[in-house]
Structure formats: structure tokens, C-alpha cells
Chain A
Amino acid sequence: MKDYHGLIFAYYTDPKLRELVSMRTAASLPFCGRYRLIDFSLSAMRNAGIVDVGVIMQRDYQSLLDHLGGGKAWDMARRTGGLRMLPPFGLPEYHRGNYAGTMEALIAVSSYIKDVQAKYFVLMLGDMCANIDLTLPMEQHRKSGAPITAICTDRADAAGFRMTYIPGEDGYAKQLLVDTVDEKEGVLSLEAYIINKETLLELIETSHAQSLHRFHKDTLDKWLKEGGKMDIYVHHGYTALVRTAESFYKANMDMLDPDIRHELFPAERPVFTKIREEVSTYYSSDSYSRNSLVADNCIIEGSIENCIVFSGARIRKGAKLKDCIVMSDCIVETGCVLDHCIIDKDVSFSAGTVLTGNEKLPLIVPKGSHI
């Protein structure tokens, strides 16, 4: 029997991500030229030896399913166990809308949780951007004996946090501040937990009986108030929760800083992702490129500066891109000038297109547009 089982929440998508999530869930948002956000939680689990993982999804999950495949990229295509997709199933009528909260999502998959033969569950968000060495909180959880360990951070590199834990003198969580971000008084919750199986089932049962659907506001707050023990593990590396178009833009642009990038992609804990085609990127003699991250299979003939370019891009001679995120398979014809744009997948710009956004309000060009 394996001790740990992973659960990733990939059902929640904040509407503040605007057009970026019209066709996908937040967990499958493209990141840093080749990744999807869910790669971080999947890789963290894989690197800690957790390869039995359920992904809770609810809607618009086609792009997520396409990315996950059979779980091969994370060594989760296993004969027994491995990656399991958990879309809604067998739910009573009143549960068929959007999940009102994480607890409702857990209630929806409670039969799955019951069947899992593991002592502990690791719960993580699919849209978290951090490279967490889970072996550390796992070790801490075993030693402390607290039924719940909350994974928190003392860094808030991009907005999106919603919960703060105030530690008591003994180091255990004393108080939960819901919908409050207070990094001076406490530590910010990554909404990730290690929790004993029987505790998780108890919480689910109680919440279900009382129709309480919000994991933090109802369940965990009550747990602490009733004297339940919760340990806190603090992650010190780069952390972002991508919940708005602006934080999506910022988190991507943060990757241009080599120190941050090395922190998020250390050699000893690689971030795994689905592999696309295998061909290098070509820079022509006419190209100009500065301070940019460029994925494979691009042809750069124009000019890029402060850009994140995903695979398959064709930047033609004379095109100029500055401070842009260019997702997969975009074509930018000659003479285009693009500034502060988030260009979604499969977009093509005909010659001479000029578009300008700004840092606070990056211009989003929706997937598949022809301009």
C-alpha cells in the first residue's frame, strides 16, 4: 500500500482571467513558454514519489484532458493506480451546478476517496505556480502527528492569495483569516494540505450532512475553532496563484528573471510537461532578440524584446514584439507592432497589425483569432 494519494483541484476558474479561460480551466493555462499551470502540482507530487493522483475537474476540461493524456509525462501512467480524471459523476441533482466550494468538490468525489488505500491525502490547487519539495511537509506531517498540515508561503510574488494562517506560539495554526491576505501577521495559504484519510472523510461527512461547501470558511475555520490540530509548513521559494489576467501576465514575465526561473525550475526537481514536437528554434540573420524566453520550433525573423514565446511561433521579418506573451502556433506577419499583448494559441496577424496594451491591462487576443 502506498502511504500518499494526491488530489488536485482543477475545477475552479476565476472569471477575472477573462478571455484566457473562455476555452479552458485555470489549471491548463499555458505558462513560461511550454508548461501548463497544473504541471507544478503534478510534478511536485511526482518528484515526491506520489504517482497515484486524482484530478478533480468540472467543466471546460477538454484542453486539460488533452494535456494530461494518460499521465505518461509525470510517470503516472501506471498499471495500478496512476493518474485518475475525476469529472463530476453520479451526483444528485442539487450538485449539478458549479461546485460552490472545494468541499462540494470533495463531496462529489467522496466515493473515490473512500476507495483509495492510502493513509494520507495531499491536496493541491491546479493553478498554483510554485516548485514545492513535498517530501519536507510530508516528513513534518508524519512527525508532528497533527491530522492536517497546511502548506503556506512567506512569499507572495503574484496576487491571488485568499487565506492567511496565524500561527500560535507552538507553531500550529491558531487562526484562519478567510478572504484576507496578511503577510505581516501570518503566512499565506497555498490552499494545499496534507491530511489523514480518516480526518478527510470525517470532514467530508460532517460538511455534507450540514450542507457546508466552503472548505476554508466553513470546514477548516470550524476545525481550528473547535481546537483541531493543524500544523503549518512554510514554502520559501517563488509562489504565485494565478487568478487574474494581470497576475497571469506578471507571473509569466517574472520568468525572464533568471534567479526566479532557476528557483522555479531547479535541476533537482524538474517540472514535467507534455512533450510537443522536437525541433530547435531558428533565428535568421535579420532577427533581433533581447531578454526573452523562446520555446522550441519557432522561426524568429523579426524582433522580440521582453517576450515569452511558446512553440510553433513564426515571427516574420520586420515584425516587432515587445513585452508580449505569444502562445503556441501564432503567426505574426511582417510589419506588425505588438506591445503588452497576451496572444492566445493559434492566432495569426496579417501584415502591419498594430496592437498596444499596458502592464495593468495587457491586451488579450483570444485563441484562434485572425487579425
Chain B
Amino acid sequence: MKKKLIAMLLAGGQGSRLYALTQSEAKPSVPFGGKYRIIDFPLSNCANSGIDTVGVMTQYRPLKLNSYIGSGQPWDLDVNDGGVYILPPYQSAGEKGSWFSGTANAIYQNLAFVENYNPDAVVILSGDHIYKMDYADMLRDHLEHNAACTISVLTVTLEEATRFGMMNLGEDGYIKEFEEKPKHPKSTLASMGIYVFDWQKLRKYLIQDEADPNSRHDFGHNIIPAMIADGEKIWPYRFQGYWRDVGTIDSLWEANMDMLTPHLIDLYDPEWPISARSPICPPHQVGSHAEINHSIVTEGCEIDGIVTNSVLSPSVKIGVGANIEYSVLMPGVVVEAGASVKYAIIGENSVVHAGAVVGASPAPGQQKSITTIGPDIEIPAGSTVKVGAMISSSEEV
């Protein structure tokens, strides 16, 4: 079955900087923005862009991610001649199987999968970005410029540029140089880690790269520089709109807070729905003592405390007099009466018992410091969790 464009989604990352939250699940399945998990964004973008074949490459603690994706039905990706496929590393006859050693190697190990569909082009996606993007538009741009590879880029400030892979353009507008986290940036075009490749070209470079024992088998470090060196046409696709990498606790918290500001990213737009697999619970209840301000709340929640500037996932329970401010509560979190949760991220099914204090607002003029509680942790009644702590087991409390 020949396809024009298929997507390969890199979801194997461990997310080590989110440590407490990713001990038992891969980063792409970390809950996000109330109803979602991070991977809902690229998967929904695929569905909305008309891509019906998505390979999801997993290797780190994939159990939750696999069951979350399932048949792909929530994203309408359960189709006859395509669909969403979980692609773990595997062994071949006579060969030693191995883990994916880099982003490019992950695709290399799945050459046979891509070949099945013999696509004209492949879009490489990452499982830890929050954004809405039409990959079909990126493909159009790619084809119009007759490119071997098109890299989605964002305009950033020169200060921010030191944290990104930066693209330096030639006079013809094509990318001539790729610099990873440059000390002295020469441009303001940052790579978003989203690539469209001509499949035949990519195939050639993947095979070539695999043979190089010194390669890190990484798109940014190896494949793209090799293509530039060969004079291949690499076009920058200028993306405008909201895009966040949520690889750190601070960026995860900030991106969650962004969901409260509809002009940054409009989740209510029926033309570009972000879909999720969610349990079916009754609507959320606002109790007789509840006060909810500038927050998002979702099904199954029961709120009887004060919730301000916060993001609540399904089935969160907040007791009378509990105070939640600037926090992200993941599915099933319970905050009992009188407890206080401020500037915190609380993992799935954790319980903050009565009167406990988790995190605090920054003092005037001070930097905020996010307190993180992993999943399934009990914070004892009346206890205080140190501001900025990262708690990954109940013993640490």
C-alpha cells in the first residue's frame, strides 16, 4: 500500500530530567493539560493532518504508553490500510538485537516497517512537544522547494538560541549549517526537531550512517550534517504558533500553565481537536465550599476547596479548605481538607493528606521553585514537603 506521507514518532526517551514522573512510564505518556498525555499532541496532529499511518518507537518503560495508544481509536487512527503501530526494538534471525542507540538508529531498525508503505516522504516527530501543526502544510512546503529534507524552525531570541540547535541559511534560503547549542549564535532559527524527509534520500543516509562506527546515529548530529556536506537541499519550514518542549520540570509546569491562556494555544478549536483516551467518569462536581478561578477542571473531579491558576486532570479530589495554587494535579490525585499545594506538580494517584503543605509561592522578587511529587506517593497529614523538592518514593517524605 503506497502512501504519500507517513509519520515516525520517537517516543523512546526516558525523560530523565522529569525523574520522579518518569520512573514508571515513558515521558510521552506523562499526563498533560488536564485531559491529555503529551503524546496526544503529535498523534492528534497526525490525524488532523490526514496522516493515517504512524509508527511509534518505544523502548523505555513502554507498558503504559502501549496500552494508552492501543488501537489508535481515540485519534481515529484505527483504519484498515494503516493505523498506529508500536515499534519496540526487536531481534532478527542470526543477528544480535539491540536497543535503539539514537534517533536515526531507531528509524534504521524500522526500515522494513517504512518500506511496507513505500512512502514518498516521512515526517519524524518527537513525543515530548506540545504544539498544533499541520504536517500536510509542511509537506507542501517541502515539495515546493524540492527539498531532500525540510526542518521545522521557530524564530527565537539570540539569548534563547544558545539552548537550541540553530539553522544558518545560505543566500538561496536553504539551510547551509546546523549548530547545536552555539555559544555565539549566527541566526535566530531554531530547529523544533520535526523533519520531513524524502524517503529514498533518508533511506540512503540511514544505511550510510549505520555503517559509521563513530556516529551517534542522531538526526541533528549526524544525518543532517551529512546531508548538508553532500550539498542536499535542506529547507527551513517556518512554523508560527505555540510550541514547547516539555523535557524539564520547569518547562512541563510552564506549558501546563500556558493551557490556561487560550490565545497561546486554543484547545477549544473544533477544527483542530486534540484527542485523548480518557476514562468515562461523571462530570466534575463543584462542591458547596469550592472556589475555582482561572483553572481547568475535567471529568470525575470533586472539588470542595479553593483552586486558583491550576490544571486538574480527571478524577482529582480536593477537600474542604484545601488550597491549590499554580499547580498541576495529575489523574486521581487526592488533596485532603486543609492541605496546601502551591507551585507543584503532583503525579498520578498521589495523596496529600489533611493539612500537609506541598510547595510555596515564591517570595517577592524570588525565582519560583517547582515542587514535584511522583505518582502513588502519600504525603502524611500535617507534614511539609520542602519547596523545590522532587519526591519519587513515599520513604523520602
Contact = CB atoms under 8 A, between A and B. Distances in A.
Interface string B280-297: 111111111010111111
A255 to B, nearest CB: 7
A359 B334 CA distance: 35
Interface residues of B, number: 38
Contacts of B36: 278
Interface string B291-325: 01111111100100000000110000000000000
A209 interface: no
A22 B296 CA distance: 35
Interface stretch (A55-63, A156-164, A284-292, A338-346): A284-292
Contacts of B83: none
B283 A296 contact: yes
B326 to A, nearest CB: 13
B286 A280 contact: no
A304 B279 CA distance: 26
Nearest to B260: A282
A270 interface: yes
A295 B294 CA distance: 17
B34 interface: yes
A34 B292 contact: no
Contacts of A279: 34-35, 267-268, 273-274
Contact of A293 (B268, B283, B296): B283
Given A280-B296, A289-B290, A294 B270 contact: no
A331 interface: no
Interface string B251-282: 00000000010100001101001111011111
Contact of B299 (A277, A292, A295): A295
Contacts of A261: 282, 285
Nearest to A265: B282
B292 A283 contact: yes
B287 A291 contact: yes
B282 A272 contact: no
Interface string A290-307: 111111110100001000
A271 B279 CA distance: 11
Nearest to B299: A296
Interface in A219-269: 255-256, 258, 261, 265
B35 A278 contact: yes
Contacts of B311: 280
A258 B302 contact: yes
A240 B290 CA distance: 29
B46 to A, nearest CB: 16
Interface in A130-150: none
A123 interface: no
B260 A281 contact: no
Interface in A315-350: none
Contact of B283 (A275, A283, A291, A295): A295
Contacts of B73: 72
B282 A299 contact: no
Nearest to B262: A282
B65 to A, nearest CB: 18
**Top 8 A-B residue pairs of the complex, sorted by shortest distance between their CB atoms:** A33-B283, A280-B34, A280-B296, A280-B298, A295-B283, A283-B292, A289-B286, A293-B283
20 contacts: A256-B285, A270-B279, A270-B280, A277-B273, A278-B74, A278-B273, A278-B274, A279-B274, A280-B298, A281-B296, A282-B260, A283-B297, A289-B292, A290-B286, A290-B287, A291-B288, A294-B283, A296-B283, A299-B268, A308-B283
Given A275-B278, A278-B273, A283-B293, 20 more contacts: A34-B282, A271-B282, A277-B275, A278-B274, A278-B278, A279-B35, A279-B267, A279-B273, A281-B297, A284-B294, A287-B293, A289-B292, A290-B287, A290-B288, A291-B286, A292-B285, A295-B283, A296-B298, A308-B283, A310-B283
Interface of A: 32-34, 72, 255-256, 258, 261, 265, 270-273, 275, 277-285, 287, 289-297, 299, 304, 308-310
